[in-house]
Chain A
Amino acid sequence: GQQLNQSPQSMFIQEGEDVSMNCTSSSIFNTWLWYKQDPGEGPVLLIALYKAGELTSNGRLTAQFGITRKDSFLNISASIPSDVGIYFCAGPPNFGNEKLTFGTGTRLTIIP
């Protein structure tokens, strides 16, 4: 089946640093979603991307839909302690198919 690979698997940064992570697929996606999951909680949607090349911001978060439609990127600027968590990319495997395929996740840790 389709797989979404996320990189890096984990990140250790200091507060205030910028963060970049990406997600790649073996096949084309028509929608890219970025979720954040805190320990013991369900994923929360951060940003949704619907068109190749689209660049969308949500506060300090910026995500891009790759031109090839096989990748997406998430950047976090000036990280703060509440950014800690696991970030997942996700998307529907087929247009109009509502189930989501999730990536492997990027765990973000902020070093004091």
Chain B
Amino acid sequence: DTGVSQDPRHKITKRGQNVTFRCDPISEHNRLYWYRQTLGQGPEFLTYFQNEAQLEKSRLLSDRFSAERPKGSFSTLEIQRTEQGDSAMYLCASSFPTSGTSGTDTQYFGPGTRLTVL
């Protein structure tokens, strides 16, 4: 399977615990994105990387959240001191820059990690 993969698919944790999610993008995709999706809503942008550089972070990404992409391949998203409001689906997407006038790469999404904070 050459799509975007995420691990774990489901995570249940107690409030106050730290959690870490992993995303493996499509190989050769140098852009990687994290989104968060709560029930009944569309995905909301959190942050994105081009290679190992984190280029943009949303205001949604509080200081309890940190994302890394150390070698420009897989990425991790860590949430420290989880709160019940962190319960959501965390989606990862990857893309490869395309030339032309579209100005937008096609982002391919993984299956997501569903986090439940008790």
Contacts and interface: CB of A to CB of B under 8 A. Distances in A.
A45 interface: yes
Interface stretch (B40-48, B62-70, B74-82): B40-48
Interface string B91-115: 1010100000111111111111010
A44 B107 CA distance: 9
Interface in A63-112: 88, 90-92, 95-96, 98-105
B56 interface: yes
A88 B37 CA distance: 12
Interface residues of A, number: 27
Contact-residue bracket for chain B: 20 to 34
Contacts of A40: 111-112, 114
Main SS class of interface, B: loop
Contact of A99 (B42, B56, B91, B106): B56
B43 A102 contact: yes
A104 B110 CA distance: 20
B43 A43 contact: yes
Contact of A31 (B33, B42, B102, B108): B102
Interface of A is mostly: loop
A42 B110 contact: yes
Contact of A45 (B35, B56, B108): B108
B103 A45 contact: no
A25 to B, nearest CB: 13
B42 A90 contact: yes
Given A41-B111, A98-B31, A98-B48, A92 B103 contact: yes
A45 B107 contact: yes
B26 interface: no
6 contacts: A42-B112, A48-B102, A48-B104, A92-B103, A100-B33, A100-B107
The 7 closest A-B pairs by CB, nearest first: A102-B42, A42-B109, A99-B45, A31-B104, A95-B103, A50-B102, A96-B103
Given A102-B42, A105-B40, 12 more contacts: A31-B104, A41-B111, A42-B4, A42-B93, A42-B110, A44-B109, A48-B102, A88-B42, A98-B31, A98-B48, A99-B58, A105-B42
